[in-house]
Amino acid sequence: MSPPVLTFDQPHPFPGKLIIVEGLDGSGKSTQLQLLQKWLDSKGYNVFFTEWNSSELVRETTRRGKKSKALTPTTFSLLHATDFANRLYHDILPPLKAGMLVLADRYVYTAFSRDAVRGVSPMWVRKLYNFAIRPDMAFYFKVPIEVAIDRLLGGTRAQFKYYEAGMDMGLSQDITESFRIFQSRILAEYDKMVSEYGFITMDATKDIEEQQNDMRQLVSKALENYRPKRGTHGKRALFWRRFDLPKSE
Amino acid sequence: MGNGHYFGDGLTYLNPSDLKGRLIAIEGTDGVGRSTHIEMLQEWLEVQGYGVLTTGWTRSSLMSKTIEVAKQGNILDRWSFSLLYATDFADRLEHQIIPALRSGFVVLADRYIYTALARDVVRSGDPTWIRNVFGFAIVPDLICYLRIDVDTLALRVIESKGMNFWESGMDLKLGADLYESFKKYQSLLIEEFDRMAEEFHFEVVDARKPPDEIQEALRAKIEPVLKTGRLTQPSTGQPAKASSAS
C-alpha cells in the first residue's frame, strides 16, 4: 500500500528534469524563466511551468488569511506547504515521471528563507518539506537589495504588498523601509543556502540577454544526456495548447 | 500545565512555559462518542467553576471552509490532506488553545494531533514526517483515548449517523463497498491508535461501556490533573501563583 518514500536529501529517480529559479522579488528571475521556457519550447521540448503559491485550493484561503491579517508565521508556512504539496502531486510529479521538463518559479527554498526570517524554526521548515523532489538545477538570481527596490518601484508595482514587505513583523511603520529590512534578511538566508543546496548563482544585475545566454548554456549542458519524451509529433507546442493553455506573459 | 513544552521543533516565537491552564485531549476514532462526552465534561467542569474552552478538529476560522471544499474531491494526495489538517490545527493552537491556556482555562480538545498522525500513517506507512510536521504542538497534560473494537463501532455508526465516505477511508479503496471499507479503514486506525497509546502514554477508557460509566471513568482521569500544579480557577478571581518553571 505504501509507495517508497522519496526524500529531499537525494536526487529523484525520474527520467524528467526539474529546473527551478529563486531570488528576491525584483531580481528578474521570472523574466529569465519565461525566456528559458520560450527557448526550450522552440527546441521542441515539452515544458511544464509551475509557480509558487498558485494552486487554486489554497490560494483562496491564503488570500483570505492575508486580507484579515490572521496568519501567524506557522500558518503562513503551512499554507504554502499545502499549496506546494498540491502542485507537486498534480503539476510536478506526473510530467517528471513521464520524462518531461518542469520549470518552477520559486521552490522550497523560498519557504526556507522567508519562514526562517519570520521566526519559524529553520529545522522544522526543512523537515516539513522533506517530501519535496530535489531539483536537477537550481538557479539563484542574486541582486543587491537597492536594485530590487528600484526595479519594483520603477516598474509595474508602485506599492509593496503587506506580507511581501514583511509588515506582519512590525519591522517598520514605513512600508518601503520594512520591505528593505525584510528582504535584506531573506537575502542573507539565500546566501547561506548557496552552498548548502548547490545553487547556481547568477549575477542578476547583468543585462537580461546576457543572463539568458548564460542560463541557456548551462541548461543545454545539463540536458546533454537527456532524452526528451513526448506523446505527440508534428506541430507539438500547438497541439497540446489546445487542451491546456500555458500561462502567457 | 505550568511547564508546557512542545512535541518537537516548536514555535520559536512563543514560549510555552508560562501556560497556566490544563490541556486535555480526548482521542478516539470516528463515531466513538467523543463529542457527547466532551459536552458532559464541560458542564461538569463549569459547575465546579473552571473556565472551559472546547476546540475541535477542522473548526478553525481560517481552514474549515477550505477543508470542506477539499473533501468535495478537489484533492487529495496524502501530503495536502495532512497539511490542511496541520494548518487548521496551527490556527486553533495559536488563536484559541495557547491564549486560553495562558489565561488559565481548561482546554478540552475534541481530537488532537494523534488523529492526524493516525490518518497519515495509515496512508503512508511513514511515521516520521507527520510527527515532524506537528512538532509545534503543545504536549497535552492528559490524553484520554476512547477505545472501541471495530465491530461495535460499525454497529454504533450505522445506528446513528451512518457511514460516510471519508470515515470509511474510501480514498484508500480498501474494500468493495462502504461497509467493508469502513471496517478495514477503522481497523487500521484503531491499530495505529493502540500503538500510539503506548508511545504517547494515553489513558485508555473502554468506549464499549454505557455512557455514564465512560463519563465517570473520564472524570476520574481528569480530576487529579486539575489538582496537581497551578491551575487558575476563574471563579475565585485570584491570579495564579507565579510559575516556577524556567
What pLDDT, in 10s, does the model give residues A21-36? 999 988 999 999 999 9
Query: B132, A2: Cβ pair inside 8 Å?
Result: no
Residue B8 main-chain phi, psi, to 5 deg: -150, -125
Alpha-carbon gap, residue B239 to A11, rounded angstroms: 56
Distance CA B229, CA B156 (A): 38
Task: Say if CB A32 and CB A215 are below 8 A apart.
Answer: yes
Give tens-digit pLDDT for A205-247.
999 999 999 999 999 999 998 887 766 654 444 444 434 444 4
What does the pLDDT read at residue B1? 72
Chain B residue closest to A87 (CA)?
A: B80
* Neighboring chain B residues of A168 at a CB cutoff of 8 Å: none
CA dist A78 and A184 (Å) reads 23
Chain A contact for B124 (CB, 8 A cutoff): yes
State yes or no: pLDDT of A82 exceeds 90: yes
* Contact call for B80 and A1, based on CB within 8 A: no
DSSP string for residues in A4-68: PPP-TTSB---SSEEEEEEE-TTSSHHHHHHHHHHHHHHTT--EEEEETT--HHHHHHHHHHHHT
pLDDT at A233: 57
User: Is A79 in contact with A65 (CB distance < 8 Å)?
Assistant: yes
Neighbours of B226 (CB within 10 A): 17
Contact B80 A82 (CB under 8 A): yes
Residue A39 grid cell: 527557448
Q: Which residues of A touch B58 (CB under 8 A)?
A: none
- Grid coordinates representing A175? 512600508
The CATH class that applies to domain B16-148+202-233 reads: alpha beta
* Alpha carbons B235 and B229: distance in angstroms, whole number: 18
Domain A17-219, CATH number (from 3.40.640.10, 3.40.50.300, 3.40.190.10, 3.40.50.620)? 3.40.50.300
Average pLDDT over residues A119-142: 96
Which pLDDT does position A157 carry in this prediction? Answer: 62
Task: Select the more confidently predicted residue: B236 or A49.
Answer: A49
Residue listed under C-alpha cell 446513528: B160
Across the interface, of A2, A70, A75, the residue whose CB is closest to B124 is A2
Residue of A nearest to B68 (CA): A57
* pLDDT above 80 for A54: yes
User: Which is nearest to A85 in space by CA: A55, A60, A110?
Assistant: A55
Please compute the mean of the pLDDT values over residues A180-209 and round it to a whole number: 95
Model confidence at A1: pLDDT above 70: no
Model confidence at A158, pLDDT cuts 50, 70, 90, reads low
Q: Where are the domains of chain A?
A: 17-219
Question: How far are the Cα atoms of A117, B27, B164, B217, B225 from residue B207, in angstroms, in the given order?
Answer: 46, 11, 21, 10, 21
| CB-based contact, B67 to chain A, within 8 Å | no
Q: Tell which wins on pLDDT, B220 or A9.
A: B220
Provide mean pLDDT across the span A128-153.
Answer: 93
Predicted ipTM of the assembly = 0.83
State the CB neighbour count (10 A cutoff) for residue B35.
14
A233-237 long-range Cβ contacts below 8 angstroms, 24+ apart:
A236/A44, A236/A46, A237/A41, A237/A44
Give me A110's grid cell. 523560498
Q: pLDDT confidence of A248, banded at 50, 70, 90?
A: very low
CA separation for the pair A141, B198 (Å, rounded): 50
- The number of angstroms, rounded, from the C-alpha of A221 to the middle of its chain's C-alpha atoms is 21
Residue B150 belongs to what H/E stretch? Answer: helix B150-159
Residues of A in contact with B126 (CB under 8 A): 2, 5
Q: Which of A17-31, A49-63, A147-161, B225-239 has the lowest mean pLDDT?
A: B225-239
Residues of chain B with pLDDT under 50: 230-246
Q: Of B83, B85, B120, B121, which to mutate for an interface test with A (greatest number of A Cβ within 10 Å)?
A: B83
Say yes or no: B63 contacts chain A, CB-CB below 8 A. Answer: yes
The residue ranking higher by pLDDT, B67 or A99, is A99
Residue A176 has pLDDT above 80, yes or no: yes
Model confidence at A196, pLDDT cuts 50, 70, 90, reads: very high
Rounded to whole angstroms, the Cα distance separating A211 from A203 reads: 7
More confident residue, A56 or B114: B114
